Each structure stands twice: as C-alpha cells, then as structure tokens.
Amino acid sequence: MKFLEEIHQESLSLDHKNLEPDDENAKRSSCPVEAALKVIGGRWKVLILRELFGGIKRFGQLHRALHGITQKMLTQQLRELERDGLVDRHVYMQVPPKVEYSLTPLGKTLEPVLNSLHDWSTKYLTRS
C-alpha cells in the first residue's frame, strides 16, 4: 500500500502536460512508474518485447508474429524502442539488406518485470 500511496502523492505534484519519453526533464520530474509506462506503453511495444525475449528476430518475423500491426507502425515502434535503449538494430550490408532486432541489456531487464505484470493481470482477470 505504501507504494501506491507514494505513486498517488507523486502524481498529485506532477504537471500533467504531454511529456516525451526522451525528455530528460520529464524523466526526472515524473513518477518512476509513469516514466516506465511512457517507454513501454501502447498496444504494440510489450508484444514486440515479448517476441524479442525469444531471441534475435528479423523485421518480417516480427511482422508475421504480431497479427494486425502495419509495417509502418512496427517500424515506428521499433525506432522508439531503439531510441529508448531497449532494442538494438543490426544492419548487414548485403543485397537484399538484412536487418536484425534484439534486446539490449537494458531491454532484457524488462523480462521479469513483464512476467510479473502478466501474473498480476492473470489474477486480476480471474478474480471473483
């Protein structure tokens, strides 16, 4: 409960303007949980991370695994994850071009966090 009280108190003191995840002032002034959600929030990022927890993937593999995502959206989400230091993009100079995506060491630290969130969500959805 103390954790939730701290989040509530921090959120009361926040200026709730739209903060970009790469804005250093936003990172310092916002609640740590809010900052994390800015980086991994949205419909696709957690699903992209889930795919990359299994190892290195090429763009086409990710696109096929994520039903309903457009190529444009996948590109945008991967760029944001790369910008935030969670995903590494490796381009092989060959014809046709080959690009592989993998998690950075920082990105790998999210696996136990997202596993815990999954466990919590399962309990939440099955509560009586």
pLDDT of residue 23: 55
Q: What is the pLDDT of residue 128?
A: 72
**Domain 43-128, CATH among 2.60.40.1180, 3.50.50.60, 1.10.10.10, 3.30.70.20:** 1.10.10.10
Sort 87 into a burial class: Cβ within 10 Å, 0-12 / 13-18 / 19+: buried
Confidence (pLDDT) at 114: 96
- What residues contact 18, with CB distance under 8 A and at least 6 apart? none
The whole-angstrom separation of Cα 29 and Cα 117 is 24
Crossing angle for the helix pair 45-53 and 110-125, to the nearest 10 degrees: 120
The model's pTM: 0.76
Mean pLDDT of the residues in the chain = 84
Q: 6-48, pLDDT tens digit by residue?
A: 434 444 443 333 445 455 544 565 689 898 999 999 999 999 9
CA distances 93 to 61, 78, 115, Å, are 19, 20, 36
- Domain ranges within the chain, ordered by starting residue: 1-40, 43-128
- The tens digit of pLDDT for each residue in 41-96 reads 999 999 999 999 999 999 999 999 999 999 999 999 999 999 999 999 999 999 98
Give the per-residue pLDDT at 24.
Answer: 58
Residue 72: per-residue pLDDT:
97
- CB burial of residue 77 (10 Å; 0-12, 13-18, 19+): buried
C-alpha triplet 112, 116, 121: angle, nearest 5°: 145
